[in-house]
Amino acid sequence: MTRVEVNGVGLFCEAGGDGDPLVLVHGSWFDHHNWDLVVHGLALRHRVLVYDRRGHGESDRPEGQGSLREDEEDLAALMETVGFAPAYVVGHSLGASIALRLAARRPELFRGLVVHEPPLLDLAADVPAVREEVAVTRQRLGHAADLVRQGDDLAGARSFVEQVADGPGAWEALPQEQRDAFVTHAPTFLDEQSDPGWAALDLAALRGCGVPALLTGGSESPALFGAALDRVAGALPGARIHVFEGAGHMAHVTHPEEFTAVVTAFLAGDAGS
């Protein structure tokens, strides 16, 4: 375990394993522990780096409005500082968005890219089949953010879990440790949602990234994720799409062995059918 200073912020990070470098980028509401069920398996063939993004876990929480660009720059600086550039990068949810956005600007930092369900609502908004779903999701995200903005982190976290992520009653079903993590990270969720470009991606710039890419989703996830992935696939030459049957947005948590096997096979150059 260590802390690395990048861009004036102290980031917690941890590395282990042997092989080509692999960086895992977590999403909103969580920290590096969200990867716990897959780290060991991935580290059997790769030197794996996990870290807490700014505002999460044991990393610093700067005051004031942040931006996804800062997360991108943190990822780039961390990879270069600890000798993980270029690397394979695996991102989940907003962490996937951050990885894609950085790949569009700094493709030289990447050997390959795996992203699971980036919440790129702007890309899906003009797809007729999911237009209404995108609008409802925006409304629900806005409601959760408003509750946090009003100072009620608990209500905001609960609203996100039950209205956006998992459905009514899901909050009480969560272990207390996970509920605590949601409440702790509510202010950072608000910070992310307050970035006007959080749901966007420059597809034209992404076309300049020629590294191998695997885009994954869950069969039980909202259709908007698939619509966004299709748009991303159109911008990445040779990108492959894999759907985890029976899984949703947290495939690396609910289906860790399959997730590890699919990612490992892809990075080894055997993406399957």
Q: What is the pLDDT of residues 39-77, one digit of tens each?
A: 999 999 999 999 999 999 999 999 877 899 999 999 999
What is the value of pTM for the model shown?
Answer: 0.95
- For residue 273, being part of any structural domain is answered with no
Q: How far apart are CA 271 and CA 15, in angstroms?
A: 25
Identify the burial level of 8 via C-beta atoms within 10 angstroms of its C-beta, where 0-12 means exposed, 13-18 middle and 19 or more buried.
Answer: exposed
Q: How far apart are CA 146 and CA 266, in angstroms?
A: 40
Residues 46 and 150 in one domain: no
Return the pLDDT at 168: 87
Residues 69 and 16 in one domain: yes
Q: Residue 64: left (phi > 0), alpha (psi -120 to 50), or beta?
A: left
Residues 174 and 70 in one domain: no
Residues 248 and 113 in one domain: yes
Residues 38 and 122 in one domain: yes
Residues 86 and 68 in one domain: yes
Domain with 145, as residue range(s), is 128-193
Residues 188 and 203 in one domain: no
Residues 137 and 120 in one domain: no
Mean pLDDT of 155-171: 91
User: Pick from 138, 168, 193: which residue ends a domain?
Assistant: 193
> Could you tell me which residues come within 8 angstroms of residue 171 by beta carbon, excluding any fewer than 6 positions away?
157, 158, 161, 162, 179
Cβ–Cβ under 8 Å, residues 245 and 219: yes
Q: How far apart are CA 218 and CA 202, in angstroms?
A: 24
Return the pLDDT at 246: 93
What confidence tens digit (pLDDT) does each residue in 6-39 have? Answer: 999 999 999 999 999 999 999 999 999 999 999 9
Cβ–Cβ under 8 Å, residues 35 and 46: no
Q: Residue 23 maps to which CATH number? A: 3.40.50.1820
Residues 148 and 223 in one domain: no
Average pLDDT taken over every residue of the chain: 94
Q: How far apart are CA 114 and CA 266, in angstroms?
A: 9
Residues 261 and 232 in one domain: yes
DSSP state of 131: H
Q: CA torsion sign, 109 to 205 to 218 to 197?
A: positive
Cβ–Cβ under 8 Å, residues 256 and 38: yes
Count of domains for the chain: 2
What confidence tens digit (pLDDT) does each residue in 100-153 have? Answer: 999 999 999 999 999 999 999 999 999 999 999 999 999 999 999 999 999 999
Q: How far apart are CA 130 and CA 94, in angstroms?
A: 19
Helices 94-105/68-81 angle, 10° precision: 70
